[in-house]
Structure 1
Amino acid sequence: MPKMRVLIAARGDRRTALAKALGVHEAHPMFEVGAADTREMLFRSLRTGNWHAVVVAWTFDGAPAEEILAAASELTVCAQTFVLDDPSRAEPLDQLAHRIATGGVRTSAVPKVGPLSTCESLDELLGGGGRRPRSGLLSCVMLSPTGNDTDWHGVLGAGGVACRWRGENVLVLRRAAGPGEAVVWAEALLDRQAGTSAGVTWFRAEELQEAKINQAEQALSIAGSRGVGLATWTSVVAAHHARRLASAIDQPEARRLRLLADLPLGSEQRRHLTTHSEEVAATALDLARLLRLGPEACEQVRLAGLLHDLGKIAIPDDLLAKPGALSPIERRVLNRHAAEGAWLCEALGIDTEVARVVRHHHTRFDALELAPDAARIVAVADALVTMTSIRPYSAARSFEHALAELRRCRGSVFDPRVVVAAHILGASSMRAAA
């Protein structure tokens, strides 16, 4: 069996931990083993979690050690791509080894590894325009960096670029399958601790200009001021319109209608913000009356029901319309709509208690943070209307089925008192239908 030479390059504690995991002496970073053993060692190093700090180069026996050393700094990203991203892919490891041994790896063909370069202009980022994309959807993400090392090539793949934008935040420009994918991808970046907060915008490739980068910067500023992980350019635009309407229109419901008219909404966004919200408001009002709330409290519940999904203005329509189950990250993006809705209510000049109800309408009954009573009523009304309506991922359920689900979740997700009121409401509705 031919031997393979492996070079390990890491620093400090990572180097010690990696050498221990690979079973080699850290003073001797170059060692020889059989090909199968080498793969096993590399896979063990992956499981240690230290792979991002490792430079790995390998070749068949006979290639001069100097060639490996010269190639090592050029091969970090390539090694991660060929081996560490998918330990089951053994053949590409052999192919890459052969390329090194035969001189097939060239500096120009393999991305360099190191700190992000600083760019002062879009032309500088795109190499004078030679790499400017001509078609498709692009996403622009501006990140407040954490200071952690990030494998940007591994994150971006072949379709993106990243830099330190004017020496401060990290700018990422990449192709996106759709607005929803752009936001979910940015959320995943925060999971990787590539940044503490992010601003996201998306646009057609032919619209690419520095003004679009400014949109991502403004969204990042919103995320920072709110103390949240992520904000979109849509959030910026919606908040701007809401503040303008707060001083121009007296009635809260008229402000809401004008805001929905001013913003470009997708079909699923519009359904959530009109028909669905109106049904939730009516159901919540019925529940509030059954619970013997006073007129002022009932009106607060009704208005909160009408506004409870306002934050979905900032959730991409293609994510709201996705058929099938959401991934955990997609679910987290969707769950941002409650807080987003509360901020928009405040910008619209809506009563602060109503905004608080909107913020907490998805807070569980058994959560440590207590939700207002009105939020618990809106939560049950929202669930009841949602379950009995046609959704992109589910057919409408019967009223009886929806009530059974409320019973199953009472005391954990839903307030038991409100669930009882829902059953009374359901019984009277079914009698009326008969």
Structure 2
Amino acid sequence: MPKSPAPPQTDKAGAPRTDSRPVIAGIVTALVGFTSSFAVVLAGLRAVGADAGQAASGLLALTLAVGLGVLLLAWRSKVPVTLAWSTPGAALLAASGMPDGGWPAAVGAFLAAGLLLALAGLVPALGRLMARIPSSLAQAMLAGVLLQLCLAPFKALGTVPLFVGPVILCWLVMMKFAPRWAVPGALLVALAVIGTSLASAGTTVEPAALVPALAWTTPAFTLQAVAGIAIPLFVVTMASQNVPGVAVLRSFGYETPWRPAMLVTGAGTVLGAPFGGHAINLAALSAALAAGEEAGADRGRRWVAGFTSGLAYLVLAAFSTALVSVVSQAPAGMLQAVAGLALLGTLATAVSAALADPEDRIAPAVTFLMAASGLAFAGIGSAFWALLAGLAVRFVLKPRAA
């Protein structure tokens, strides 16, 4: 049950005291959420066929959808609910590769995933069906998808060590002293390295490439893309983002407005899909920044942190295209290296959760290896087959009642 809000604080004269901590917490929430994973989004969109302009449009669409969605949910519910784009979903895209039908088919899969997210709020049976998928298998599928991307920083050490070495060193030092800012710090070092490289080579970025712009892509629907991208994208988004997001808010004494959240994130995904946005969802890790003590002692005003994070995302949207323009000039493998560092913590968590039960490790192990194998059959990527294989192995090995 949610705890009762603390009484409003007052100054010596008895007037209400203005607490800026919710505003600061909201800004930090947006900065951490954006900078720690936008490289993963770009890597995923490029992997499924987006060119540089379409990837920039996708990042812009996601940032706008997250910002507007948070403003609506936080204002209406007065709960410090926050949204994010699906980082595990973007990693899934990076491992999936271009589907049959190219970028338009991927966009169609994004739209289908958005419809499934909205249906999760409208149809309770769909939520119950999702709950029947063992968490260990969903986490194992995610871990297998993440493996190749998390190897990228170490592979890049063999090809561009002078570029990647400082990034990894910064990440390691920040993990020791300020873990929350480890990936943003590594990103800043990467941008500095890229900028130095561009300056020394005399490369310039056209001013027109810095202006945010949405690029429309007419969706195309193929069975392979829906099965290989949309369904796994929906599963990992629900299992790795939405469900943990609810748990994080509950740990601070808040109940998530589930149906409105699913409708808003589903609608935001559907509207953003033609412009390249793959999926938005409840924030999980960054949700604690807006709902915890850092957002102020008055629990009744912490929703302001969520609302402020929405405003901050809208400001960040104005700079998203400029970031893409700079990052697109990076040496080959640099973007994937930053994305891999951003996902190391997620990989560790997924592997731990997948193998937590000593009595049920074979099915998750098969799921992990199948997802990591990159197997594609009938045009459908490995994530879909990994989940089916895990369910089949679990069914066969499950002890029968006497």
Which protein shows a greater Rg?
1
**TM-score normalised per structure 1:** 0.20
**TM-score normalised per structure 2:** 0.22
Decide which structure has greater strand share: 1
Higher RCO by CA contacts (8 Å cutoff, separation 6 or greater): 2
Decide which structure has greater helix share: 2
